[in-house]
Structure 1
């Protein structure tokens, strides 16, 4: 049985990232999470023409981070509008 309500919405948003990660040979939870963060950053730009235009014009940037609760560190996995080195897949 498929999940319902809010849980279904969350699952439907995460599923494309999980499938893309697996298709690229990524299987660990950290790799799948990083793929989801990248997908979400791109989705924000796809869904907001205003935000996308601001990024193109150099007035804004969108970054995606993976945060580790265990040690309190954050790792950059996606950057649009900034020239930053992005961490490679784990």
Structure 2
């Protein structure tokens, strides 16, 4: 029998979350919430360079990384200056 689009034969519906992953995330969330004071203390005890590294490592889970953008300009077109003033 050939594969038919949308025929999941009783499996998870498209877009639904994995129950095991959801449960692990919930437990991890509670672990962090219950130990927030200790985490702050540990963070403050780090050397400044280690604190910055830890901060940047953790930030990737909260703030999405920005992708670089390349701007190309045809050499025959004039350069436009944009002035940002209030």
TM-score range, shorter chain: under 0.3
Higher relative contact order (CA 8 A, sep 6+): 1
In the superposition, the TM-score normalised over structure 1's length comes to: 0.27
Q: Which has the larger radius of gyration?
A: 2
TM-score with structure 2 length normalisation?
A: 0.28
Structure with more of its chain in strand, by fraction: 1
Choose between structure 1 and 2: higher helix proportion. 1
